[in-house]
Amino acid sequence: MVRKKSPNKSKMKRKKLNYKKTIKKNCNNYDSYNKLFKCQRENLYDLLKVFDFPSTERNNVLRSGQTSYEGFVLGIVNTRGLVGIGKMMSNKTQHPKFRELYLETKKLMDLYKKEKDKKFRYTSIQYNKSHRAAYHVDAKNVGESYIIGLGNYTGGELIVYDEDGKNPKKIDIRHKFFKFNGSIYPHETAKFEGDRYTMVFYKV
């Protein structure tokens, strides 16, 4: 019996994922962090405004009377199968429809990381559209996460409680990254008006 040789990983070709680029503004022309961050933030918001969000059913963030809201996860997700619990890149992340949004979102966070928090690591990004999250703790997050809000809205602060669910603090996250451990500290969204998108960067 002749054994087949295992393919050399260094020679294996990765399948190239083609997608239609819609971003028109080139942020590489800026040399300061603040201008570069603002440009990338605006590029991402332009994508979010026209993106067709699917609905999701995360029961722990739904308020009374809600059955779903517009949101999804890109990046690594937990899976359950015959061999138990595992992790894999989500199908959405590998779909051309979601590819540009994923890459442009990563650019914003990686830009921030390089300037402000080089040690931060994340595997996944949760996207939320105009959703006022109910009081909850995150079930799948490991360690600290970052959240940022984009859009033309008022209110919508992140409300974070202590471990006992007391002493709430309102955090303005509009156009600002905020780091906290959502698996330990209960949190929710304050009332808001307008067009509000949030991205949560976390590790599974």
pLDDT in tens, 109-121: 999 999 999 999 9
Of all residues in the chain, the percent with pLDDT exceeding 70 is 87
pLDDT digits (tens, 9 = 90+) for 43-99: 999 999 999 999 998 888 989 988 899 999 999 998 876 555 688 999 999 999 999
Any residues with CB less than 8 A from the CB of 169 and at least 6 apart, and which?
A: 159, 160, 161
Whether 158 and 189 have beta carbons less than 8 Å apart is answered as yes
pLDDT tens digits along 40-52:
999 999 999 999 9
Q: Which domains does the chain have, with CATH numbers?
A: 28-202 (2.60.120.590)
| Least confident interval from 119-123, 137-141, 153-157 | 137-141
Q: What is the pTM of this model?
A: 0.87
Angle between helices 33-50 and 96-116 (to 10 degrees): 160
